[in-house]
Structure 1
């Protein structure tokens, strides 16, 4: 049996996680585009998914997303150009900057939450609420365990 056939019949964790990620990202960003946020790309999720409403430091965004600071910095630059975030002085440390969502960024965050909630509701309806809750809890445990192995 060829490797590609085996991966189709018995996909490993990486293949399954990739399929799920690309499916969720595809629907999320396509729906956001339909709702007026066409300039966003899935890569921007490394910042937007972890951004606090009151603002976040770039170092925290990098840590939470698992991306290098340079990558996050480039994404922040792009999101600032697109009008989703702005840099402001951090009131608790004037040397640091906070990345703060703009009105456009807050709209995107609200819409993203609703889109992902709808995706999760459909998944729960497909497999059952209890099974989906168990799946999500287990996936969280596997993700936490694998991030501690790095």
Structure 2
């Protein structure tokens, strides 16, 4: 049996995780585009998914998303240009900057959170609430 055929029949964890992520991103970003946020892309999720409404430091976003600091810097630059975030001095440490969502950014974050909940409810309905809860618990234990 060819490797590609075997991977279709019995995909490994990496393939399953990537399929799950890409399907989630496709649905989330296509739906959010229709709700007025057509200029953001899945790569911006490394910021927007982890950003606190009060603001976050780039180093924290890097650690939470698993992206290098340079990548985070580039993504923040893009989101500043698109009007989703701004950089402000951190009141706890004037040498540091906070990445803070704008009104547009907050709107996207609220809509994305609601969509994520809808997607999860649909998956839970498909496999059953108990199975979904077990899946999430196991998946979370593998990623912490």
The two structures share one fold, judged by TM-score above 0.5: yes
Could you tell me which runs of 5 or more consecutive residues in structure 1 were left unpaired when the two chains were aligned: 145-150
- What is residue 140 of structure 2 aligned with on the other side? 140
SS class of match (1:100): strand
C-alpha separation between the residues in 2 aligned to 1:83 and 1:141?
Answer: 36
1:2 is matched with which residue?
2
Q: Distance in 1 between matches of 2:92 and 2:22?
A: 38
Q: TM-score, normalised by structure 2?
A: 0.99
Please name the residue that 1:24 is paired with: 24
CA distance in 1 between partners of 2:47 and 2:53 (Å) = 12
The 5 A counterparts of 1:1-150 are 1-144=1-144
How much is the aligned-residue C-alpha RMSD, in angstroms?
0.4
Instruction: Compute the displacement of 1:35 (Å).
Output: 0.4
Task: Give unmatched runs, 5+ long, in structure 2.
Answer: none
Q: What is the distance in 2 between the residues matched to 1:23 and 1:12?
A: 17
TM-score in terms of structure 1 length: 0.95
Deviation at 1:50, TM superposition (A): 0.5
> 1:86 Cα shift?
0.3
Find the aligned partners of 2:104 and 2:126 in 1 and give their Cα distance. 33
Q: Could you tell me which residue of structure 2 aligns to residue 148 of structure 1? A: none
Find the residue that maps to 1:98 and give its secondary structure. strand
